[in-house]
Amino acid sequence: MQSSKKNPVTKYKIFLDANVWFSAAMSPQGGSFLICRLAEAGLIQAFANNHVLEEAERNLLLKALKKLNDYYRLIKTAAPKISTISPNPVLVKKLDGLLPAKDMPVLAGALDAEADFLVSLDKKHILQPKLKNLDWPFQILSTKEFFKIFRKGFKKL
């Protein structure tokens, strides 16, 4: 697992799951929105892939149409780099029984982005200890866990 001990002036590379983008569009008070603001300020580099962006958009269309423009603004201002790789058969086999196929592109995107962190709000699938404790080159975190690490880095300045 990759160490989270980075120089605070070095940008963390954060792959954001669809639920983080969705939550950020829904509320400017939450941690998801704050992560997008960090990306906008250039303090982190946000990453996504078409799978997570389309899922967030689809969920907003179905559940909160009035927030769609907020979502598009977030994508524009946070300016995520877009990962394009699909899950490979080795990853699919590694995760067989641990993760539904629909979530495989999330892990593939974080791998492709060479992310430091994969941030998700999916407690049912992504944030499960069995998945988090596998040997990943990134850490799988909730927004709250990410902010603990981020704040520690800036307290050392």
The percent of residues above 70 in pLDDT, for the chain, comes to 91
Q: Cα 39–117–44 angle (5° rounding)? A: 20
Q: Residue 157: its pLDDT value, please?
A: 43
Mean of the per-residue pLDDT values for the chain? 90
List, for residues 58-71, the tens digit of each pLDDT value: 999 999 999 999 99
pLDDT average, residue stretch 13-20:
98
> For residue 1, is pLDDT > 50?
no
Query: 96: which residues sit within 8 A by CB, 6+ positions away?
Result: none
The whole-model pTM stands at: 0.90
